[in-house]
Amino acid sequence: MLPRRRRARVGPPEAAPSSAARFPGVAIYLAEPRMGRSRRAFLTRLALSKGFRVLDAYSPEVTHVVMEGTSAEEAISWQEHRTPSLPPGCSHPALLDVSWFTESMAAGQPVPVEHRHRLEVAVPREELPSPVWMLPYACQRPTPLTHHNASLSEALETLAEAADFDGSKGRHVSFCRAASVLKALPSPVTALSQLQGLPHFGEHSRRVIQELLEHGVCEEVERVRLSERYQTMKLFTQIFGVGVRTADQWYQEGLRTLDDLREQPQRLTKQQKAGLQHYQDLSALILRSEVEALQQVVEAAVGQVLPGATVTLAGGFRRGKLQGHDVDFLITHPQEGLEAGLLPSVICCLEKQGLVLYHQHRRGQPGDPTHLAQKPHAMDAFEMSLCIFRLPRPPEAAVGGPREPCPPWKAVRVDLVVTPISQFPFALLGWTGSKHFERELRRFSRKERGLWLNSHGLFDSEQKMPFHVASEEDIFGLLGLEYLPPEQRNA
C-alpha cells in the first residue's frame, strides 16, 4: 500500500486571508519579544475569531503593532531596527500598548487609538495611573454613584451574588469588598498593576480582573450568569417576600419558573402571593418623578393623621439614584412618643383613596433601645408597614398598545418606617445604605472603636449606653470619620 501523501500547509495558522477580515483597513502585528510565543498565539486566535486581520510577519501592510510590557523607548528601538525593510515613503504603523488590543477585543471592533495607547512617546507609561493608596473600610472613602470601573465591579458583584445564593458568606463579602474598592478608584483600571497595594484584592478577584482586562470577558462570570441555578435564584429572590433560603428550597425541589409557583399557591405566604401577582410591575423600575409623587401622597396622609410629623426619603434615591425598584420613607415627629402607633391610621387613610394593594404591619418595640445594642440588623424593632401601592400613571403613560392596553396604574413597593426622633439620625443612616456601606460602617465601629452601631443607636460595648446625637454628621464625628454625604455612600 502506498503511503498517504501529507497535505502541504498553505501558510501559518496565525495568518488570516484578508477576505475573511471584517476590518480590512486594520492589519495587526503582535510583537513577540516580551509577549511570548504561546500568548501571542492565543491573542492571535482571539483576534481572528472576532474578525480582525492578524499578520504573521512584519510588513508594509501592518497598520497596528501591538506590544505588551514594553516601554516607549524599547518600542521605538524595535521599530527603528525594522524601518529599512519598509519601502521609501511608506508610513510607519502605530506602536500600541496591548491595552488598545484588549479594548478592541472587548468592543468587537477596533477602538479609536488614543494618546494613552501609543508607545511612540514616553508619556503614555507615565499617564497610566499608578497604584493608589486606599483606606480599607468603605465608610472611610467616598464612593460616587457613577464611577470608572462599572464593568469590572459588576463582574465581581455577580460572583458575590452567586456566592450568597450558595450560602458562602465569606466569598460573598470578599467579592463585595473588592467591587467596592473598584467603585472608589479615581480612574479606570487598565492594567493589573494598578491593583497593587489595594485592600481586599485576593488572588481570585485579581484573576477575574486580569481576564476581563485581557479578553473583555471572564469565563467564570459568564458561566455563572448563564447557569440555571443563578438565573432561577435571581428570578425567585426578586419576588417580594422571597429570600435566599426560600428560593434555594424551591430550587432544590425542582421549581424553576414563576408558573411553577403559580401552580402551587398553597405553599406561598400572603406576602409572596402579592409579590407574584404584581411581579411584572414590581420588576420594573420606578422613576424619581414617581417617587416624588408618592412622597406627596404619603406626606398628605401622615399630616392628616399626625400634624407636624415629617416624611423623609431614604434608600437608593437618597444616594442620588434616578430609578430603583422600591421606595423607603422614614416617618418621625419632633415630640418623642407621638409617633407611636401611627401607621395603622396612615394606611387606613391611604386605603380610602384606593392606593393600597397590599400591606403588612409590624409593631415596634417601644422603650429603651439599649437591649438592641448588639443586634446590628435590628431594623425590625421599628414600627413599619411593608406595602404595595397603586401608583396612578400619567395620562400619556396609560396608553398601551392595541393588543395589550396599559392599565391606568402600576404596583410599586414602598416601606413606611416610623422612628422616634431620638433614633432618627441612626435610622436615616441605616436606611440610606448602601448595604455594603452600612456593613462596613458597623464593622469599623466594632473593630476600630469598640462600639456597636445599628439603626437604633451607637452603643458602648461594655456599658451598653447609647450616644445621643442630632444628625448623621454627629455619628460620623463620634466614630472619628470624615462625613460622607449620601451620594458618596454608593459602596
What is the bridge-based pairing of β-strands 64-67 and 27-30? Answer: parallel
Residue 401 domain-assigned?
yes
- Number of domains, the chain: 4
Is 474 among the catalytic positions?
Answer: no
Decide: residue 450, CB within 10 A, 0-12 exposed, 13-18 middle, 19+ buried. Answer: exposed
pTM across the whole model: 0.74
Judge if 429 and 339 occupy the same domain: yes
Distances 76 to 33, 73, 91, 121, 222 between C-alpha atoms, Å: 14, 5, 14, 8, 39
Judge if 317 and 409 occupy the same domain: yes
Instruction: Count CB atoms within 10 A of the CB of residue 190.
Output: 19
Write b or e for each residue in 322-342: b if 16 or more Cβ atoms lie within 10 A of its Cβ, otherwise e. Answer: eebebbbbbbbbeeeebbeeb
Judge if 340 and 394 occupy the same domain: yes
Distances 232 to 183, 184, 250 between C-alpha atoms, Å: 28, 31, 10
Largest Cα–Cα separation, the chain: 105
Judge if 257 and 302 occupy the same domain: no
Judge if 303 and 417 occupy the same domain: yes
Regions in the chain scoring below 50 on pLDDT: 1-19, 121-128, 378
**How far is Cα of residue 120 from the mean position of the Cα atoms in its chain?**
37
Judge if 49 and 171 occupy the same domain: no
What is the bridge-based pairing of β-strands 457-460 and 94-97? Answer: unpaired
Cell of 203: 488572588
Boundary of a domain, candidates 184, 208, 225: 225
Residue 308 domain-assigned?
yes
Cell of 208: 477575574
Judge if 203 and 254 occupy the same domain: no
Q: What is the pLDDT of residue 116?
A: 84
Element (H, E) at 459: strand 457-460
Dihedral-angle region of residue 480 (phi above 0 means left; psi in -120 to 50 means alpha; beta otherwise) = left
Residue 119 domain-assigned?
yes
Judge if 318 and 171 occupy the same domain: no
Q: What is the DSSP letter of 311?
A: E
Q: What is the pLDDT of residue 373?
A: 64
* 259 assigned ligand-binding residue: no
Q: What is the pLDDT of residue 377?
A: 52
C-alpha 418/C-alpha 456 separation (Å) is 12
Closest CA to 350 of 418, 301, 411, 305: 301
Judge if 218 and 236 occupy the same domain: no
Residue 110 three-state SS: coil
Q: What is the pLDDT of residue 78?
A: 77
Instruction: Give CA torsion, residues 37, 42, 43, 44, to 10 deg.
Output: 80
Is 281 among the catalytic positions?
Answer: no
Is 328 among the catalytic positions?
Answer: yes
From the candidates 97, 248, 281, 328, give the one annotated as an active-site residue. Answer: 328
Judge if 208 and 263 occupy the same domain: no
Cell 394606611 sits at which residue? 347
Cell 401622597 sits at which residue? 297
Instruction: Count CB atoms within 10 A of the CB of residue 362.
Output: 14
Residue 265 belongs to domain with CATH number = 1.10.150.20
Contact 437, 428 (CB under 8 A): no
Residues in contact with 161: Cβ distance below 8 Å, sequence separation at least 6, in sequence order: 172, 230, 234
Residue 181 domain-assigned?
yes
Cell of 366: 417601644
Judge if 329 and 428 occupy the same domain: yes
Q: What is the pLDDT of residue 150?
A: 96
Determine the Cα angle at 268 with ends 267 and 270, to 5°.
Answer: 140
Residue 476 belongs to domain with CATH number = 3.30.460.10
Residue 174 domain-assigned?
yes
Residue 68 belongs to domain with CATH number = 3.40.50.10190
Contact 68, 35 (CB under 8 A): yes
Decide: residue 188, CB within 10 A, 0-12 exposed, 13-18 middle, 19+ buried. Answer: middle
Boundary of a domain, candidates 242, 277, 312: 277
Q: What is the pLDDT of residue 163?
A: 98
Residue 210 domain-assigned?
yes
Decide: residue 50, CB within 10 A, 0-12 exposed, 13-18 middle, 19+ buried. Answer: middle
Domain range for 323 is 286-488
Residue 375 domain-assigned?
yes
End-to-end CA distance of the chain: 73
Q: What is the pLDDT of residue 9?
A: 37
Amino acid at 415: D
Q: What is the DSSP letter of 405?
A: P
SS (HEC) of 332-350: ECCCCCCCCCCHHHHHHHH
Residue 1 domain-assigned?
no
From the candidates 260, 380, 415, 460, give the one annotated as an active-site residue. Answer: 415
Contact 26, 53 (CB under 8 A): yes
Residue 150 belongs to domain with CATH number = 1.10.150.110
What is the bridge-based pairing of β-strands 286-287 and 94-97? Answer: unpaired
* 326 assigned ligand-binding residue: yes
Judge if 111 and 200 occupy the same domain: no
Q: What is the pLDDT of residue 35?
A: 75
